[in-house]
Amino acid sequence: MQSELNKTKLMLAYILAVVILILLCCPLLIGADYMYWDDYHSFADIVLDKIQTRDQIPEGSSWAILCLNGDAEITADHTAIAQLTKTTDTLVTEYKLEYDKNGTNGTGGTPPVDWAEYDVFLPGGSTVTYVPGDNEVTVTLHVRASNSAGELADAGSYIATQTLTVHWK
C-alpha cells in the first residue's frame, strides 16, 4: 500500500513539474515572436489635392508604426483596387515607401522604395531588417496621381486602396 502511495506521489510530482515547465516555456513556444501594425499609429486616409492642370501631379502620404522582433518583408497589392479610379476613368497611380531607419542603426528598411506604378510597386517586397532592442519602425506610404500621357481625366473624386502586407522574412 505504501509503495502504491509513493508511486502516486511521484507521478503527481512529475505531472506538476511538466506543467510548471510548460508554463515557464509557454512564452517561448507561443507568442514569443510578434509582428503587427500599431493600432494607435496606423495609416490614415490620404487625400490628394485636385488635379487642376493636365501636368499637375499631387502627392500625399500617411504613416504607420510596425512593431516586430525579427526580420520581415512588406508586400503590396498589385490589383486594380490600388489604382485611383472613378467609375470607368483612372489616373496614373504611383506609390513610394520610406522607413524612419535603415536597418543598420535601427530597425528599418533599405533602400527607400522609389516611385512605381501601382501594378509594379514592391514587386519582390521590401525587406525590414530587425535590430535587437529596436522593436518599431515607422513606415510611410506616399502616393501621387497624374493624367496618362496625352489624356485628361474626368473631374471628380477618385478612390484607391493600397494594402500593405507584412510577413516574416
Prediction pTM value: 0.79
pLDDT band at 14 (very low <50, low <70, confident <90, very high): low
CA angle (130 as vertex; 129, 134 as ends), nearest 5? 135
Question: For residue 25, what are the contacts with CB-CB under 8 A and spacing of at least 6?
Answer: none
- Average pLDDT on 42-63 reads 94
Is the CATH number 3.90.1690 carried by domain 35-168?
no
- Domains of the chain: which residue ranges? 1-32, 35-168
pLDDT tens across 94-119, in order?
A: 999 999 998 888 999 977 789 999 99
